[in-house]
Amino acid sequence: VVPHSFHDMDIFPSSSQVHEMLHCANECSKRHNADYITFGEFCVYASELKSCYDNKIPRPTPLSKTKRLRRRNTVPQRSSKYQVFLGGSCNPTTWRKDIAIPTFKSLKISYYNPQVAEWGPQLIELENQAKQNAEVMFFVIDNQTRSVASMIEAAQVAGTQRKLMLVVHEFEKPGSVVMGEKITEKEFKDLQQGQRYLQDLVERQGIPVFDNIHHAVQCTATILKKNIKPQDLTIEDAAQPVKMAYIQIGDKLIKLREVFDDLDCDNRGVITLKDVCMAYKILTDKEMHMDSLKSIVNQHKHSCTDDLNDEAFDNCLIDFNQFCCIMTEFRKQADSQFPNLSALKNKASDILCSVLTPLAKLVDWVRPETRLDDKNSSHDIIYETTYRDIYLGGTRRSSTWREDIAIPLLKKQGLTYFIPQDGIWSERLIPMEITNMENSQVLLFVISKDSRSLADMIVAAHYVGLMCQVVLCIQYIEDGTEIDGEKLSEQAVKDYNRGRVYLSDLATRAGIPVFDSIEESVECAAKMCLQNSNS
């Protein structure tokens, strides 16, 4: 429901942005795992995204991406023998011979298929050349295999700015059969998180993610025929566009809620219109004149009073949803070209309409409009950006390597750090979390031997592809290991260790330091930070 409501207004948030919206809205309104947002929350989110679209807010450069590393990211392209490289899940999947290859053949598109009947070492160099030179990297992440190495590879490719087409078939449920084994609920959550993190990282680059191989194959043909990027595909191409997936928006609603709660001294869930004026001053450092506020409220029929005199003004109470609407309108007045509330109501779902009707009494739909040269304008809500030395990524849950090893070492060196969110906030890789990561000088990822760490390996590979300052600690899972009280099968150990081998190999080729000792990896990351400070 939520994504389609935005699509109707030519706003295309990523899956992780929608996840961030929902969870920040639930947090602000004290709802429990609700899958909807109210109209006031919708106003805040939509106006923020629309403003960013209008102002063409550029993609931020990770702090860990130094100028030297940025230059390394521009690799000269050689002539391509194959137009498409068919990467992703292999045996027992048959998507290549059943769908991709017949279609590409009919369209006279050349391809390289790494899935062969008899594999030999002599094929390694041929496969590497095909990967490096193909115009389009076509990956299918199926749910018949764990696809650990394939997901890691696709994440790395997404970071290299190459043309990537990605299809993800999500794991259906716990108990599903993968490589002849039923996956447990705990492994299902890890595999699901891995697939979602991959999708979030790919969408962050503006690349649409598909769930239909036929559509992805046709879109690949469109890319080659028109010589465009995957980011240029539209709904008409059977793609789901994503715009500015790097914009974090949940923090905007959190800030509004903090100010609202500060002014709601009696904890009644409402504030006066005079409080609204004070909130505006807190948020923008600019006065909101009473006359302006009266004018906005009075111009709408059936607002809290038909003739808002001084006494009625003092008694008019505003809840948080109405407060969000007013703050949205006061950022900038409505633009006549933007769809109004009635147009939205006609397109919105029944669930959304249920909150539109009562709130329409206060304010119609409006959007902000700010210009790049006005980014320091007093109309803009101010948010603080925090920077740290090291991002402590990698294994979470029961592992205590951060508290036992990393944090004491970093404190001794006088270095600061970020610790990733866990729990419900880590189900997807939300923009607020990525901002913390990209506001760190060095990215440390510890892939411990007592964790599957699939999502962490995917994130690490992506930032290796982006040519950021990354330090890795990779430990291999031993036979008979138990994770979350479950003994891993021989095939599972093989699959997760294959991913570790692949990550270690691509990192080594990129000049990324790789350790098997947590202490040595932390010391290396600290040394990098200190060298950055002295340079």
Which pLDDT tens digit goes with each residue over 115-125? 876 666 667 77
Two tokens, residue 337: 């070209």
| pLDDT for 290 beyond 80 | no
**43 contact partners, CB below 8 Å, separation of at least 6:** 324, 325, 328, 363, 365, 366
Let me know: does 8 contact 23? Beta carbons within 8 Å. Answer: no
What distance, in Å, lies between the first and last C-alpha atoms of the chain? 50
Give yes or no on whether 84-231 and 388-533 have one common fold: yes
The confidence band for 465, taking pLDDT boundaries of 50, 70 and 90, is very high
Distance CA 63, CA 388 (A): 9
Domain boundaries, the chain: 4-58+248-302+310-334, 84-231, 388-533
Let me know: does 397 contact 456? Beta carbons within 8 Å. Answer: no
Distance CA 272, CA 487 (A): 59
Average pLDDT value for residue range 219-236: 96
CATH dotted code for 388-533? 3.40.50.10140
Two tokens, residue 238: 């059977």
Distance CA 517, CA 506 (A): 19
> What pLDDT, on the 0 to 100 scale, is given for residue 397?
77
| pLDDT for 370 beyond 50 | no
**87 contact partners, CB below 8 Å, separation of at least 6:** 114, 131, 137, 138, 139, 140, 150, 153, 154, 157
Average pLDDT score, the chain? 85
Distance CA 216, CA 38 (A): 34
**403 contact partners, CB below 8 Å, separation of at least 6:** none
Kindly list the distances between the CA atom of residue 174 and the CA atoms of 171, 181, 383, in Å, as whole numbers in the listed order: 8, 11, 41
**Nearest-CA neighbor of 219 among 189, 240, 192?**
240
Average pLDDT value for residue range 440-457: 97
Is the pTM of the predicted complex or chain greater than 0.95?
Answer: no
- Coil, strand or helix at 271: strand
CATH class of 4-58+248-302+310-334: mainly alpha
Residues 478-497: tens digit of each pLDDT: 999 999 899 999 999 999 99
- The secondary structure of residue 67, as a DSSP letter, is H
**526 contact partners, CB below 8 Å, separation of at least 6:** 389, 390, 409, 410, 413, 415
Let me know: does 494 contact 382? Beta carbons within 8 Å. Answer: no
| pLDDT for 340 beyond 60 | no
Estimate the share of the chain in helix, then strand, then coil, as percent rounded to the nearest 5. Answer: 50, 10, 40
Q: Return the CATH number of 84-231, one of 3.30.70, 2.170.240, 1.10.3470, 3.40.50.
A: 3.40.50
| pLDDT for 373 beyond 70 | no
Residues 157-209: tens digit of each pLDDT: 999 989 999 999 999 999 999 988 999 999 999 999 999 999 999 999 999 99
Kindly list the distances between the CA atom of residue 183 and the CA atoms of 94, 133, 147, 198, 488, in Å, as whole numbers in the listed order: 21, 37, 14, 20, 10
Order of strands, sheet of 514-515, starting from the edge strand that comes earlier in the sequence: 417-418, 388-394, 440-447, 470-474, 514-515
